[in-house]
Amino acid sequence: MALKSGEKLWAVVPAAGQGRRVGGAVPKQYLDIAGVPVLAHSLNRLAAVQQIDGIFVGISKTDKHWQNLPLPHGVRVVGYTGGQSRAETVWLGLQALQGCVGAEDWVLVHDAARPCVHIKDIDTLISEVVPSFEGGLLAVPITDTIKVANQDSTAKQTMDRRMLWRAQTPQLFRFGVLFAALEAVVHDLESISDESAAVEKLGLKPLIVQSAGRNIKITNSKDLRLAEFLLGEPS
């Protein structure tokens, strides 16, 4: 399902993190995959989604790489100063967007370090979530057996994995819903692991949309090599 006439869709990409476990002095979102920074790959994926009107990217106030990043053509890309945590950066992005959107417009939040997201998955997310007021997210079902441990590292309980999903991004919500959700937890943003968690606290039930397994998040050097392979496949 396409957006209704007059509705807009903006993407917010939190990219203010300083994670250097992978690349030493360079934050992971600026490490190269096949000669192109991770963040640039992620932005290119979003720019390929025809319904997106623009992309707001939250960067660190000490960022020295953004100004040299190759940006996608054909879509408006705006950088803004992010916060100390992912959730704070998203919250600041919503504030930066206020002059561009209405409460019924849509915000698509995507991790900077997920450069392999399938464009068809984003299109599916939009088409399935737009009819809903409660928003939704990409996720993949858990296939491993999950144990709950006691404090002494002994097994306490085996979870029913049929009910368990590993949340990914993008996550899609109406601007007014997501703004209200983050505003409600603004004094405890560090406890919010993703946008869906904040929206769930409002009593809403975001829709889970299954994504392809290729939508990995870059966390270590092995992920960079896997991402290079995945990016060589059709998107």
Query: Tell me, what's the pLDDT at 18?
Result: 77
E strand segments, the chain: 9-15, 32-33, 36-37, 54-59, 76-81, 106-109, 136-141, 147-149, 155-158, 165-174, 207-210
Six-digit token pair at 152?
A: 């002494």
pLDDT tens-digit series, residues 48-59: 999 999 999 999
What residue spans define the domains of the chain?
Answer: 9-231
Q: What is the 3-state secondary structure (H, E, C) of 125-137?
A: HHHHHCCCCCCEE
- The answer, yes or no, to whether residue 184 has pLDDT greater than 90, is yes
Query: Tell me, what's the pLDDT at 17?
Result: 87
d(CA 84, CA 28) in angstroms, rounded, equals 16
d(CA 13, CA 39) in angstroms, rounded, equals 9
pLDDT mean over 218-231: 92
- The answer, yes or no, to whether residue 171 has pLDDT greater than 60, is yes
pLDDT mean over 108-132: 96
pLDDT tens-digit series, residues 15-54: 998 765 565 788 999 999 999 999 999 999 999 999 999 9
Q: What is the CATH number of domain 9-231?
A: 3.90.550.10
CB 78 within 8 A of CB 56: yes
- The answer, yes or no, to whether residue 228 has pLDDT greater than 60, is yes
Task: Output the pTM of the full model.
Answer: 0.94
Identify residue 137 by its one-letter amino acid code.
L
